[in-house]
Amino acid sequence: MKLCIIGHPVSHSLSPAIYGRFFEKIGIDATYEAVDILPEEFAAKIASVVQNFNGFNVTIPFKEKIIAHVVSQVEPPLSAINCVFEGRGYNTDWIGFGKPLLERSIAEPVMVIGAGGAARAVIFFLRKAGVKRVKLLNRTLSRAEKIKEEFEIPGRFEISVFPFQSIREVASRSMSIVNASSLGMNGEETGITSEELVGMSLVYDLIYWKTPLIKLSNDCGVETVLDGRDMLLHQALENLRIWGLPSGEVFEKAFWEVVQ
């Protein structure tokens, strides 16, 4: 079986090492590689990926663009695909994001940073989980407004949109924070300070290493601090199910050997 992850950039991805370790442990003939595609070359190269790989994962910035090239199995209004198998597209991000939260109450309002495919998965889960108030920040307001238009249910699920520059003010009026953007991937600060994090119930950064936001949240005693490794694990288990591969304890062991 040939598998891969596509995106730009993908050199930081841990997935090839994780799946490679897993395939070695269970002794199956399968490969998983990283395929970096420049955004301007996506349309020309995606057909070859679909034809030459049994399945693949999709990361930034192609989770929405891929929809036109596969048969979507995604429930509206999610409109983002991160897992493909035999030409059919799925979203395992929302499941991966949500699994670590199922046994926890989510304090509101929830501030979500970002308006790409990952943010759509986050908001999709929050809506399913019964959260009623979300504050959405993004540098490009039109993308955030589009999510509000597609996901909001007046009176039941309210989304307020804010410019990124107001991040400290919005954080100070939130009880949970989710970073669904790439901010922090290269060590950048979000702009959130310890002042806003005092009394915060949840900080969940989807980047899967210790970002400045994660470090600051731990230092400030935030009640629950999660990083992208939690999401990556549960998303990967769902990928394996879709690809018809075994999962369970052997995969989890391989996963933590690579990411810890």
What pLDDT, in 10s, does the model give residues 63-120?
999 999 999 999 989 989 999 999 999 999 999 999 999 989 999 999 999 999 899 9
Q: Comparing C-alpha atoms, which of 243, 224, 247, 183 is closest to residue 54?
A: 243
- Domains of the chain and any CATH numbers: 2-91+231-259 (3.40.50.10860), 96-228 (3.40.50.720)
- Whether residue 32 contacts residue 23, with contact meaning beta carbons closer than 8 Å, is answered with yes
Number of DSSP helices (H) and strands (E) in the chain, helices first? 10, 12
Angle at 57 between CA 232 and CA 36, to 5 degrees: 110
The DSSP output letter for 66 is: G
pLDDT over 90, % of the chain? 93
Cis peptide, bond prior to residue 9, ω within 30 of zero:
yes
Contact 90, 80 (CB under 8 A): no
Residues 129-155, mean pLDDT to the nearest whole number: 97
- The predicted pLDDT at position 209 comes to 85
Residue of 45, 63, 146, 215 marked catalytic: 63
pLDDT computed for residue 185 by the predictor = 87
pLDDT at 12: 86
Stretch 46-60: mean pLDDT? 96
Question: Does residue 208 carry a pLDDT above 90?
Answer: no
Question: What pLDDT sits at residue 186?
Answer: 87
Q: What is the pLDDT of residue 171?
A: 98
Place of tokens 């993308």: 143
Q: Return the number of other C-beta atoms located less than 10 Å from residue 189's C-beta.
A: 12
Which sign, positive or negative, has the C-alpha torsion 177, 182, 185, 188?
negative
**Gap between the Cα atoms of 116 and 97, Å rounded:** 15
- Residue 63 appears among annotated catalytic residues: yes
Give the pLDDT confidence score for residue 136 in this predicted structure.
99
pTM, 2 dp: 0.92
Q: Are 60 and 117 in contact (CB under 8 A)?
A: yes
